[in-house]
Structure 1
Amino acid sequence: MNWYDLAALAVVAMLILGLHLARRRIGFTARTLLAIPLGVAVGVGFQGHVEYVEPIGSIYVNGLMALVGPLIIVSILSSVTGFGTAGTLRRVGLRSVGWLVLTTGIAIVLTLGVALSLGVGRGAELGGGSDVDTESLSRIVRPVPDVVVDFFPKNIVGDLADGKVIPVIIFTLLIAVAYAAVAGREPQVVEPVTRLIEAARVIIYRVVGYVIALTPYAVLGLTTVAVSDAAGNRAALWSLIGLLGISYLLCFVDAYLVNGVLLRVAADVNPLTWFRSFLPAQTTAFTTQSSIGTLPVTTDVLTHRIGVPREIAGFTAPLGANLGMPGCAAIWPLLVAIWGINATGMAYGAADYAVLAVLCLLVSLGTAGVPGTATITTTTVLAAAGLPLEFLALTLPISTVADMARTLTNVTAAGVATTIVARREGRLDDAVFLSRGVVTTTEVPTDQDGHREPLPEHESEHEHEHESDTEHESDTEPRRPALAP
Structure 2
Amino acid sequence: MSILKSLSARVLIALALGLGIGAFLGSSGNLPGWLASTTEAIGSLWLGFLQMTVIPLVFALLVVGVAAVSDAMSAGRLTAKALAWFAGLLAGAIVLTLLVYEAVLAAWPVDAESARLLVAGATGANAPPPQAIEFGAWLKSLAPSNPVAAAAGNAILPLVIFALFFAFAVTRLPDHQRTILVQMFDAVADAMIVIVKWVLLAAPLGVFALALTLGLRSGLGATGALFHYVLLVSAGCIVTALACYPLAALFGRVGPLRFARAIAPAQVVAFSTQSSIGTLPVMVECARKNLDVPEHVAGLVLPLAVAVFRLTSPVANLAVVLFICHVSGIQPTPAQFAAAGLVAFAVSISSVGLPGQLSFFVSVAPICLAIGAPIELLPLLLAVEVIPDIFRTVGNVTADLMVTTILNRGDKGVRVIAPETA
Which TM-score bucket, shorter chain as reference? 0.5 to 0.7
The alignment status of 1:254 with 2:240, answered yes or no, reads: yes
Name the counterpart of 2:265: 280
Counterpart CA distance in 1 for 2:344 and 2:374 is: 16
1:161 and 1:87 map into 2 onto residues whose CA distance is 24
Q: Secondary structure at the match of 2:355?
A: coil
Does the CA contact (< 8 Å) of 2:276 and 2:353 recur in 1?
yes
Q: Per residue, is there more helix in 1 or in 2?
A: 2
Q: Is the 8 A contact 1:323 1:365 kept in 2?
A: yes
Cα 1:160–1:398 change in 2 (3 A) is closer
Q: Match for residue 223 of structure 1?
A: none
Q: Distance in 1 between matches of 2:294 and 2:262?
A: 15
Q: Describe the shift of the 1:112–1:92 C-alpha distance in structure 2 as closer, same or farther (beyond 3 A).
A: same
Correspondence 1:263 to 2:248: yes
Select 2:352's aligned residue among 359, 368, 374: 368
Deviation (angstroms), 1:303: 1.2
Change (3 A) 1:309 1:338: same
Partner of 2:216: none
SS of the residue corresponding to residue 307 of structure 1 reads coil
Report the equivalent of 2:121.
Answer: 128
Distance 2:302 2:316 in 1: 22
Cα separation, 2, equivalents of 1:386 and 1:237: 24
* Offset at residue 158 of structure 1 (A): 7.1
Aligned to 2:76, the other structure's residue is in SS state helix
What residue identity is the alignment partner of 2:378? L
Shift of 1:385: 3.4
2:274 to 289, 312, 322: 289
Counterparts of 1:111 and 1:342 in 2: how far apart (Å)? 14
SS at match of 2:308: coil
Separation (CA, whole Å) in 2 of partners of 1:159 and 1:296: 28
Distance in 1, matches of 2:365 and 2:309, equals: 17
Shift of 1:355: 2.2
Is the counterpart of residue 416 in structure 1 residue 402 in structure 2?
yes
Q: What is the SS of the residue equivalent to 2:385?
A: helix
Which residue identity lines up with residue 334 of structure 2 in the other structure? A
Q: 1:347 maps to which residue? A: 331
Paired position in structure 2 for 1:58: none
Asked if 1:388 is matched to 2:405, the reply is: no
- Structure 1 distance, partners of 2:350, 2:268, is 24
Work out the CA distance in 1 between the residues paired with 2:312 and 2:263. 18
Q: Distance in 2 between matches of 1:390 and 1:91?
A: 45
Contact 1:99 1:417 survives alignment (8 Å): yes
Q: TM-score, normalised by structure 1?
A: 0.50
Alpha carbons of structure 1 residues 162 and 91: separation in structure 2 relative to 1, 3 Å? farther
Instruction: Tell me by how many angstroms 1:405 deviates.
Output: 0.3
> What is the aligned partner in structure 1 of residue 85 from structure 2?
99
Give the drift of 1:350. 2.8
1:284-340 deviation per Cα after TM superposition (whole angstroms, max 9, x unaligned): 111111111111111111112111111111111111112121222x11221111111
Q: What are the Cα deviations for residues 118-141 of structure 1, in whole angstroms up to 9, with x where unaligned? A: 225572222312369xxxxx99x8
Check whether the contact 1:321–1:414 (CA below 8 A) recurs between aligned residues: yes
The residue that corresponds to 2:318 in the other structure is: 334
Runs of 5+ consecutive residues of structure 2 not aligned to the other structure = 1-8, 15-67, 126-150, 171-177, 194-219
Is the Cα contact below 8 Å between 2:90 and 2:345 reproduced in 1?
yes
Task: Return closer, same or farther for 1:162/1:423 CA change in 2, 3 Å cut-off.
Answer: farther
Regions of 4+ moved over 3 Å: 86-89, 141-153, 155-164, 235-239, 426-434
What's the CA shift for 1:398? 1.3
Normalised by the size of structure 2, how large is the TM-score?
0.57
Shift of 1:104: 1.9
Q: How far off its partner does 1:238 sit?
A: 5.1
Q: Distance in 1 between matches of 2:189 and 2:122?
A: 39
| CA distance in structure 2 between the aligned counterparts of 1:90 and 1:408, rounded to whole angstroms | 29
SS of 1:240's equivalent in the other structure is helix
Root-mean-square deviation (Å): 4.0
| Cα separation, 1, equivalents of 2:302 and 2:223 | 34
Does structure 1 conserve the Cα–Cα contact (< 8 Å) formed by 2:236 and 2:316?
no
Matched residue SS, 1:115: helix
Tell me the equivalent position of 1:358: 342
d(CA) in 1 for partners of 2:121, 2:73: 57
- 1:154 aligned residue (175, 183, 197): 183
1:86-129 per-residue CA deviation (whole Å, 9 max, x = no partner) reads 99942111111111222222322332232111225572222312
User: Are the equivalent residues in 2 in contact too, given 1:244–1:398 (CA < 8 A)?
Assistant: yes
d(CA) in 1 for partners of 2:262, 2:377:
38
Kindly tell me: are residues 428 and 398 of structure 1, through their superposed partners in 2, closer, same or farther at Cα, counting changes over 3 Å? farther
Q: Is the 8 A contact 1:322 1:368 kept in 2?
A: yes
Match of 1:404 among 386, 390, 395: 390
How far is 1:408 from its partner?
0.8
Q: Is the 8 A contact 1:317 1:418 kept in 2?
A: yes
Query: Which secondary structure does the structure 2 equivalent of 1:128 belong to?
Result: helix
CA contact (8 A) 1:292 1:321 kept: yes
- State how far apart, in whole Å, the 1-side matches of 2:86 and 2:346 are: 13
Percent identity over the alignment is: 27
What is the rounded CA distance, in whole Å, between the counterparts of 2:415 and 2:74 in structure 1? 18
Q: Aligned in 2, Cα 1:431/1:339: closer, same or farther, shift over 3 Å?
A: closer
Partner AA of 1:405 in structure 2? F
Amino acid corresponding to residue 356 of structure 1 in structure 2: A
Query: Do the aligned partners of 1:305 and 1:432 also contact (CA within 8 Å) in 2?
Result: no
Q: Which has the higher contact order (CA 8 A, sep 6+)?
A: 2
User: In structure 2, what is the Cα distance between the partners aligned to 1:391 and 1:161?
Assistant: 26
